[in-house]
Amino acid sequence: MPVNHSIHHRAGLDEVACRETLIRRYQHVRKFTERLCQPLLTEDYVIQAMPDVSPPKWHLAHTSWFFETFILAPASPGYRSPHPSYAYLFNSYYVAAGERHCRPKRGLLSRPPVEEVYRYRDCVDQHMTAFLDSLDGEKLERWSPVVELGLHHEQQHQELLLTDLKYNFGCNPLRPAYVKSDMPMPAPAVAPLRWTEFPEAIYWIGHGGHGFAFDNESPRHRCFVEPFELASRLITNGEYLAFISDGGYERPELWLSMGWDTVQREGWQAPLYWERCDGNWWMMTLGGMRPVREAEPVCHVSYYEADAFARWADARLPTEAEWEVAAMNLPVSGNFVEQQTFHPVPISRNDTALSVEQIYGDVWEWTQSHYSPYPGYIAAPGALGEYNGKFMANQFVLRGGSCATSLSHIRPTYRNFFPADARWQFTGIRLARTSGPA
Amino acid sequence: MPVNHSIHHRAGLDEVACRETLIRRYQHVRKFTERLCQPLLTEDYVIQAMPDVSPPKWHLAHTSWFFETFILAPASPGYRSPHPSYAYLFNSYYVAAGERHCRPKRGLLSRPPVEEVYRYRDCVDQHMTAFLDSLDGEKLERWSPVVELGLHHEQQHQELLLTDLKYNFGCNPLRPAYVKSDMPMPAPAVAPLRWTEFPEAIYWIGHGGHGFAFDNESPRHRCFVEPFELASRLITNGEYLAFISDGGYERPELWLSMGWDTVQREGWQAPLYWERCDGNWWMMTLGGMRPVREAEPVCHVSYYEADAFARWADARLPTEAEWEVAAMNLPVSGNFVEQQTFHPVPISRNDTALSVEQIYGDVWEWTQSHYSPYPGYIAAPGALGEYNGKFMANQFVLRGGSCATSLSHIRPTYRNFFPADARWQFTGIRLARTSGPA
Amino acid sequence: MPVNHSIHHRAGLDEVACRETLIRRYQHVRKFTERLCQPLLTEDYVIQAMPDVSPPKWHLAHTSWFFETFILAPASPGYRSPHPSYAYLFNSYYVAAGERHCRPKRGLLSRPPVEEVYRYRDCVDQHMTAFLDSLDGEKLERWSPVVELGLHHEQQHQELLLTDLKYNFGCNPLRPAYVKSDMPMPAPAVAPLRWTEFPEAIYWIGHGGHGFAFDNESPRHRCFVEPFELASRLITNGEYLAFISDGGYERPELWLSMGWDTVQREGWQAPLYWERCDGNWWMMTLGGMRPVREAEPVCHVSYYEADAFARWADARLPTEAEWEVAAMNLPVSGNFVEQQTFHPVPISRNDTALSVEQIYGDVWEWTQSHYSPYPGYIAAPGALGEYNGKFMANQFVLRGGSCATSLSHIRPTYRNFFPADARWQFTGIRLARTSGPA
Amino acid sequence: MPVNHSIHHRAGLDEVACRETLIRRYQHVRKFTERLCQPLLTEDYVIQAMPDVSPPKWHLAHTSWFFETFILAPASPGYRSPHPSYAYLFNSYYVAAGERHCRPKRGLLSRPPVEEVYRYRDCVDQHMTAFLDSLDGEKLERWSPVVELGLHHEQQHQELLLTDLKYNFGCNPLRPAYVKSDMPMPAPAVAPLRWTEFPEAIYWIGHGGHGFAFDNESPRHRCFVEPFELASRLITNGEYLAFISDGGYERPELWLSMGWDTVQREGWQAPLYWERCDGNWWMMTLGGMRPVREAEPVCHVSYYEADAFARWADARLPTEAEWEVAAMNLPVSGNFVEQQTFHPVPISRNDTALSVEQIYGDVWEWTQSHYSPYPGYIAAPGALGEYNGKFMANQFVLRGGSCATSLSHIRPTYRNFFPADARWQFTGIRLARTSGPA
């Protein structure tokens, strides 16, 4: 749920400009979802290779259902859904919005066909555009935050669409590619990891200014942070290979207890998508199979693996407060989905201008913080209050966005969260350590 | 595995006629598979709603792989598979034919796309036709039984294609229809069930004559059968409703122990595909949802339900020997897939000419016989020996074919088999009872 | 359920003698159960190492509950159970006798303590003895078959008590022993396996004479048996080791499909209780761990293993009719529980007087026959009708008794049955083969 | 792992006094374990009703193994374990200490018998006493913290012994009692819940002074706490009944997502051990079944239930820092195991002297804090480093001890932790809320 700063306050624009901006942004985000689907065949829209992922078709319909349910139905008098049964099929987890199809069975539905889902999107878009066009005054103020929420919601599903697709393709013995992969240039050697110090202080954490933010980023509050150091860049495949070579996956003393259990049960020996072929490590990417390149940030590791790596490296993962302290004054730029690399990239030479690099984009960075409410947090009433708050148990916070995230979707205060064993997102490792006494 | 009677012995034809018959049959059967797929959308080809069913795409490819693996590869010099990876993807359970994709994951593959699978079929068909054209003398005698086997194999998959599709559609809350269903005429009242007596004797059981048969139908052997009576027709929905109304699903004394456990665990209260709506029973058919009609044979019941019904009715299921004794002299005709009803039909007035009706077609009839080898049975060597023999544990024999079976596929000696809890085939009930002393 | 031949008909004795025989037998069987428990510590009575086994305490109480429920309660006016709650705790599977504690949780009950269970037995025994003493005329005729059933029931549980205890002890890393094991004398070499021929005929199968039998052994009926040969003795550990050495557990072509799945899933590489230590095979016995001796009959194999061994040996398992044909005229003697070997023993020299040896005792012999009703079989009404009939699916018949069976419990027509993957009974292998044309 | 303040520093005693104190404490704690077992029958020592609980026999042996492994073996030259196999049987989760028996199978071991476990304890105690008697100088300083750790470890297992026993007895349909329960006096009405305010500040959190503490309570560090209010007492059964009556278990909007899933899957409708009989709520206690009393603190609720109750009550659970701020200056006294109530008790009139009551004893209080390392936390090297640190994922912190905790075991900084769905400990609810702006 967004905090209550509607878009037209942000920029101080007048109502007309505000409405037009909203419409343009609506059209841009919605189109981008479809653009991401262009390389897909009809068959690719249907499947779901594990319960955590959803078929592309489902993402396309669910995001449309979101606008229909939370805007058109309550706000647009006389709107009738062309497919009332979709409320059951395409509700994800909003209990207050009614019964829903069970998640692990999303891939068992061949109908509605893809074509009909696109027609459904069109229908919702037409109604939404008309609705947005009609907004003014109090209604604009009332509904634009919900539209914003719907668009950020759709951007989250754009990222999932890519990671889910990667997982689906990764389970296919044919290892299909989503995009044509250029043979990348040899990467330059990566500079040694440096440590940047941050002093102890009471810091303000969380979202407090203008612009959109999810409810879990609020309230802005104070936090005492002991002095710490943060690694200057992400951990690379090369560094992670050293961990593997040093028996990282065979040494229980490096692991959390639940992590070690998971390693044993799942037989993990490397990050997700890595495969050993003829003595070399290869990896599945959205561009298909290719050799693991040492200079790239390591990716598709679970919290357990990130934590074990950190322990092996005599360091630890940062807390989310530490991460935010380091990130709050850095420019929000990096390797986002707009770059269309669809994979984390090696740090480039001219990135070394900042004390802390790669903080945005490339990979979501695991923090050691469990996902908990900020002091004074209150979830919104109704179904939209289920957006974030009800997941505050047994998840860890990740920060900074990835190569599958939209630049316009990320902020320094953004809190992503996943269970400790999740690996199918673009998740990586940044180290921290507690400063010793001088 | 077929017993060793090649097609040209059967009719005493000369070699040319025999070859032409084989080619015509090959083309007919292969075409029919594709005809059954005509109503499908691309999306329908991909999904698998439970491990026991397979995606239509998989059936199309697997049956082609069968001809490629067991005929083209060994018999057609110089043949190269256009897709060597398909050997892994589309092998079902032939361990001796190499590693294979695991069954419950067949629905997780969007690639190869449907179009490519059809191209693969075309390629196999072209090579097969050329190969068949070239057959003569010893080679004709050597390979025509394997071709026959492949065609019967494909006919089995045609039946599965329909039952799997029905299951997939039945899991979709939209309940799509495979064919347009005409509103059926009101059925005439069904005549009361009569009992036909058969005397005690040593009977010859199993396949012994000319023509194709699977290896599990041999050797032909003697069997002493005590005197028994067989019901004159199949059990109807109306009769099964009486069983339900009488607490059939709530009375453990009517059930086998494993059956009762299954009823409890699965929450069964009626045959598969039956749903209670506003006080009436409806059923999912290949023509979509429609009310349960009392005159139709009951269908989609497990062995456990058939057995419990029989106990409730003070009768029992026939043994497979008893069934064969009754069927061996009856004409092989009935409601087969060629009729395109895709559902069992009520017995018609003019069916009453025979002492035992509906013995072929409509529904597979559960027998009380576990699936075991006939005396002297020996499985063929090699991968084709896995066709039948290795399943001879914990399955029950069914007889007579169903509305999804091809007429040209069935015989009096045909032994189908499924586990006792399977319900997604067109399976129904015929009663028997042991004759008392005069 | 027994067929209806009461004990005093059997021997033609007068009523007094009949009653006294019944009482003596009652006391003998009941005492024997307790004698089998003498080596146990209190702790041993409580545990249950898998759902299929029951704690000794449970067996002691359940067999008493059986007499209480099926005799004292209905037949002894004024009898009041000292522990009405035991009806819930110690009913096994008699649904018609009321609700019951769930089987896998029998080992979670520390109360009632062992001492109280023995007091319960005493109480039942006192009432039963008084009741038996009072029986005459019609009442004796009415109740003696049920008493007989209760005693055979108790003898079955005596066998289970030993096999369950062995399983419990086998799961304990300390590998405790039930009895002190003498170092056995070196076994003489086992004579080569011979084949005994049996001609084709219509044979009478099943129980038809006087004396007790379970209901599943009836009705006596005719069965046509094709000519066959039966192995002269049981398969030995030495022969089974040859199967293992020849890759028996690694060759899928030797196995039934479900058997191969089980081998893979369970990681079977030898019979249950075998362990490889320093290059030698050892086995857990009721006398503790000791080396595998080649001359002994192989034991603790599943149906799947027996079937695979037979296929490897170019033979097959006998049908239960074949087994009965061979056994019907042989003397019922062998290595039974009275010998207190608690393990199968090597065939001795002077055993070679018979054409088929070791047919009774030592190990239950797997047959290839699924457990099905005989023609005309009807289960008894009421709870006792659940004794046998409701298990007639997905089980295989075993014949001949084992070293844990009482001599007074076995008959040529006795049908034991277990699922194909069960290994914790004393189960072994006898081969058969179909006679070829002369 | 304890922080490094050995016992003789604490009190400034000289070496002799320190050693004698240590020996007295050793003997006292060890004896108390056995005293807790006095009401048990031999059978009660053996069972394990779910994987999370352990048999009493196991607790007795494991705590002895702890002293043997971490003190006698490394520190007492020439010590030989009388039972080397116990290292396998009674290691809990110390991977660095070697292989171990798997946890869910602890209840499958009848051997070693109870008597032998007591002999093992005696043997360890004799060696430990001799060893402690011999300690002086550097060795005393080196080993006394490990002895202290062993004793606190044993006190933790004393608490588990009671809670596990309660669970085992609670699963027995006979509902046995551990102690005789006096009919309690009618409880006085509980005073209304008040809120105590705490101001915002940087607080010092964690253990920093003398005396024993586990490693997870360190380092002492600063924490900024926003202003908050804490409830003056625990939530009562009466208040929890109001939550139930108001549909607490049927309203998903009150629950965390994983909590709601758990409620559905497990069918929770009340705290663990509550049963509805004839319209009244009863509960299983260590004194057997008795009616739920409204004045008592609610107990045996999971984190999910505590969190849902708090949301229903327009409040929240405290963070562990808030709890510690409130508790740090309160006297450590309350209803501990020494009182032998074995159950939380209603607040008494004269308890109202403090602003916050019942903070120690009665029930462990769920906090909203996930269990995470304090800033600068480093686990000890070796097996003892596995004591706490490796569990820092997916658990919640509980504070204050319970009616099953020893008074000498608890501290303001003590951090207990359990998964969010655990209910078999004595766990209850204290509310907090964020102070609004004045």
Note the pLDDT of residue B200: 97
Cite the DSSP H helix spans in D50-113: 56-67, 73-75, 86-90
Closest CA–CA distance from residue C323 to any residue of chain B (Å) = 14
User: Which residue, among D268, D256, D261, has the nearest Cα to D366 in the 3D structure?
Assistant: D256
Residue of B nearest to C203 (CA): B224
Note the pLDDT of residue A11: 44
As a dihedral over the C-alpha atoms of residue A55, residue A57, residue A61, residue A62, rounded to 10 degrees, the angle is 10
Q: What part of A 17-76 touches B (C-beta under 8 Å)?
A: 41-49, 57
- Any idea which residue has 């099943």 for tokens? C206
Residue B17's alpha-carbon distances to B5, B13, B132, B152, D192, in angstroms, are 16, 6, 12, 20, 100
For the segment C265-290, the average pLDDT, to the nearest whole number, is 96
* Whole-prediction pTM: 0.95
- Residue-wise pLDDT for B133-150, tens only, equals 999 999 999 999 999 999
Note the pLDDT of residue B437: 55
* D257 chain-A contacts, CB cut-off 8 A: 93, 386, 390-391, 393
Residue of C nearest to D83 (CA): C174
* B43 chain-A contacts, CB cut-off 8 A: 42-43, 45-46, 57, 110-111, 113-114
* C172 chain-D contacts, CB cut-off 8 A: 108-111
User: Does C113 sit within 8 Å of D41, measured CB to CB?
Assistant: yes
- Cα–Cα distance, B87 to B110 (Å, whole number): 17
Which bin fits A59, alpha (ψ -120 to 50), beta or left (φ > 0)? alpha
Q: Tell me if residue B242 falls in helix, strand or coil.
A: helix
Residue A118's alpha-carbon distances to A56, A150, A320, A386, C18, in angstroms, are 11, 18, 39, 27, 86
Instruction: Kindly provide the b/e burial profile for residues B167-204, where b requires at least 16 CB atoms within 10 angstroms of the residue's own CB.
Output: bbbbbbebbbbbeeeeeeeebeebeebebeebeeeebe
User: Does C375 sit within 8 Å of B434, measured CB to CB?
Assistant: yes
A181 touches chain D (CB under 8 A): no
- Cβ-Cβ pairs closer than 8 A, B with C, add up to 97
Token pair, residue D12, equals 């400034």
* B168 chain-A contacts, CB cut-off 8 A: 108, 110
Closest CA–CA distance from residue D158 to any residue of chain A (Å) = 23
User: Which residue, among C270, C265, C289, C428, has the nearest Cα to C345 in the 3D structure?
Assistant: C428
User: Does A47 sit within 8 Å of B107, measured CB to CB?
Assistant: yes
B248 touches chain C (CB under 8 A): no
Pick the CATH number of B195-434 from 3.90.550.10, 3.30.1130.10, 3.90.1580.10, 3.40.1260.10: 3.90.1580.10
Note the pLDDT of residue D217: 97
What φ, ψ does residue A271 adopt, rounded to 5°? -60, 160
What φ, ψ does residue A344 adopt, rounded to 5°? -65, 150
DSSP state of C366: E
Q: Indicate whether B13 pLDDT > 60.
A: no
B-contacting chains (≥3 CB pairs under 8 Å): A, C
Closest CA–CA distance from residue B227 to any residue of chain A (Å) = 49
- Residue D306's identity, in one-letter code, is A
Cite the DSSP H helix spans in A356-402: none
Q: Which H or E run includes B201?
A: strand B201-205
- 10 Å Cβ neighbour count for B134? 12
Burial of D1 (0-12, 13-18, 19+ CB in 10 A): buried
Strand partners, A236: A297
Closest CA–CA distance from residue A111 to any residue of chain D (Å) = 28
Q: What is the DSSP string of A115-152?
A: HHHHHHHHHHHHHHHHHHHH--HHHHHHHHHHHHHHHH
- Cα–Cα distance, D334 to D337 (Å, whole number): 10
- Cα–Cα distance, A268 to A260 (Å, whole number): 10
Note the pLDDT of residue D392: 97
- Cα–Cα distance, D282 to C265 (Å, whole number): 45
* B392 chain-C contacts, CB cut-off 8 A: 256
Does C touch A (3+ CB pairs < 8 Å)?
no
Pairing of strands C201-205, B280-285: unpaired
What φ, ψ does residue C66 adopt, rounded to 5°? -60, -50
Q: Mind listing the pLDDT tens digit of every residue in chain D (438 residues)?
A: 454 444 444 444 589 999 999 999 999 999 999 999 999 999 999 999 999 999 999 999 999 999 999 999 999 988 999 999 999 999 998 999 999 999 999 999 999 999 999 999 999 999 999 999 999 999 999 999 999 999 999 999 999 999 999 999 999 999 999 999 765 667 778 989 999 999 999 999 999 988 999 999 999 999 999 999 999 999 999 999 999 999 999 999 999 999 999 999 999 999 999 999 989 999 999 999 999 999 999 999 999 999 999 999 999 999 999 999 999 999 999 999 999 999 999 987 666 678 899 999 999 999 999 999 999 998 888 889 899 999 999 999 999 999 999 999 999 999 999 999 999 999 999 999 998 754
B91 touches chain A (CB under 8 A): no
- Cα–Cα distance, B201 to B321 (Å, whole number): 11
Q: Which H or E run includes C432?
A: strand C432-434
Q: Which H or E run includes B129?
A: helix B114-133
D202 touches chain A (CB under 8 A): yes
* B171 chain-A contacts, CB cut-off 8 A: 105, 108-109
Q: What is the DSSP string of D298-326?
A: P-S--HHHHHHHHHHTT-BPPPHHHHHHH
- Residue D308's identity, in one-letter code, is A
- Residue-wise pLDDT for C163-179, tens only, equals 999 999 999 999 999 99
Which bin fits B342, alpha (ψ -120 to 50), beta or left (φ > 0)? left
User: Which residue, among D374, B75, D293, has the nearest Cα to A225 in the 3D structure?
Assistant: D374
Q: Are the CB atoms for B49 and B168 separated by under 8 Å?
A: yes
Half-sphere exposure of D105 (CA within 13 A, CB side): 17
User: Does B172 sit within 8 Å of A110, measured CB to CB?
Assistant: yes
Q: Mind listing the pLDDT tens digit of every residue in chain A (438 residues)?
A: 454 444 444 444 589 999 999 999 999 999 999 999 999 999 999 999 999 999 999 999 999 999 999 999 999 988 999 999 999 999 998 999 999 999 999 999 999 999 999 999 999 999 999 999 999 999 999 999 999 999 999 999 999 999 999 999 999 999 999 999 765 667 778 989 999 999 999 999 999 988 999 999 999 999 999 999 999 999 999 999 999 999 999 999 999 999 999 999 999 999 999 999 989 999 999 999 999 999 999 999 999 999 999 999 999 999 999 999 999 999 999 999 999 999 999 987 666 678 899 999 999 999 999 999 999 998 888 889 899 999 999 999 999 999 999 999 999 999 999 999 999 999 999 999 998 754
C102 touches chain B (CB under 8 A): no
User: Does A368 sit within 8 Å of D373, measured CB to CB?
Assistant: yes
User: Which residue, among A301, A272, A315, A295, has the nearest Cα to A363 in the 3D structure?
Assistant: A301
Q: Which residues contact C359 (CB under 8 A, 6 or more apart)?
A: C326, C327, C330, C334, C365, C400, C430
Q: Are the CB atoms for A216 and A415 separated by under 8 Å?
A: yes
Q: Indicate whether B408 pLDDT > 90.
A: yes
- Cα–Cα distance, A430 to D246 (Å, whole number): 47
As a dihedral over the C-alpha atoms of residue C39, residue C42, residue C44, residue C46, rounded to 10 degrees, the angle is 140
Residue C367's alpha-carbon distances to A59, C229, C306, D278, in angstroms, are 56, 14, 9, 53
- Cα–Cα distance, C2 to C9 (Å, whole number): 14
Closest CA–CA distance from residue B335 to any residue of chain C (Å) = 30
| Closest in A47, A113, A171 to B41, CB measured | A113
For CA atoms A127, A132, A135, A140, give the dihedral sign: positive
User: Does A108 sit within 8 Å of B168, measured CB to CB?
Assistant: yes
B392 touches chain C (CB under 8 A): yes
* D114 chain-C contacts, CB cut-off 8 A: 43
B437 touches chain C (CB under 8 A): no
- Any idea which residue has 């933010």 for tokens? A213
User: Does D173 sit within 8 Å of C89, measured CB to CB?
Assistant: yes
User: Does B370 sit within 8 Å of C372, measured CB to CB?
Assistant: yes
For CA atoms B358, B360, B366, B370, give the dihedral sign: positive
User: Which residue, among A159, A151, A146, has the nearest Cα to A63 in the 3D structure?
Assistant: A151
Residue of B nearest to A56 (CA): B110
- Residue-wise pLDDT for A407-435, tens only, equals 999 999 999 999 999 999 999 999 999 98
Closest CA–CA distance from residue B3 to any residue of chain C (Å) = 18
Residues A241-247: contacts with CB under 8 Å, at least 24 apart = A241/A281, A241/A292, A241/A294, A243/A308, A243/A309, A243/A312, A243/A313, A244/A269, A244/A270, A246/A312
User: Does B226 sit within 8 Å of C390, measured CB to CB?
Assistant: no
- 10 Å Cβ neighbour count for A183? 7
Q: Which residues contact B193 (CB under 8 A, 6 or more apart)?
A: B231, B232, B233, B235, B239, B431
Residue D267's alpha-carbon distances to B376, D168, D263, D302, in angstroms, are 55, 20, 5, 14
- Cα–Cα distance, B319 to C223 (Å, whole number): 14
User: Does C393 sit within 8 Å of B258, measured CB to CB?
Assistant: yes
Q: Which residues contact D240 (CB under 8 A, 6 or more apart)?
A: D271, D298, D301, D309, D429
Q: Which residues contact C125 (CB under 8 A, 6 or more apart)?
A: C27, C30, C64
User: Which residue, among D350, D319, D311, has the nearest Cα to D333 in the 3D structure?
Assistant: D350
Note the pLDDT of residue B14: 86
The number of helix segments (H) and strand segments (E) in chain D equals: 11, 12
* C111 chain-D contacts, CB cut-off 8 A: 41, 43-44, 172, 174, 176
Note the pLDDT of residue B183: 59
User: Does A258 sit within 8 Å of D434, measured CB to CB?
Assistant: no
Note the pLDDT of residue D357: 95
Q: Could you tell me which CATH class the domain B15-170 is placed in? A: mainly alpha
User: Which residue, among A421, A391, A376, A321, has the nearest Cα to A93 in the 3D structure?
Assistant: A391
| Closest in A89, A105, A176 to B111, CB measured | A176
Q: Indicate whether C437 pLDDT > 60.
A: no
**Residue C400 CA from chain centroid, whole number:** 9
Q: Could you tell me the residue ranges of all domains in chain B?
A: 15-170, 195-434
Angle at A122 between CA A121 and CA A128, to 5 degrees: 90
- Residue-wise pLDDT for D14-58, tens only, equals 899 999 999 999 999 999 999 999 999 999 999 999 999 999 999
Residue of A nearest to D392 (CA): A256
Q: Are the CB atoms for D168 and D49 separated by under 8 Å?
A: yes
- Cα–Cα distance, A418 to A425 (Å, whole number): 9
Q: What is the ipTM of this complex?
A: 0.94
| Closest in A93, A202, A258 to D394, CB measured | A258
- Residue-wise pLDDT for B120-135, tens only, equals 999 999 999 999 999 9
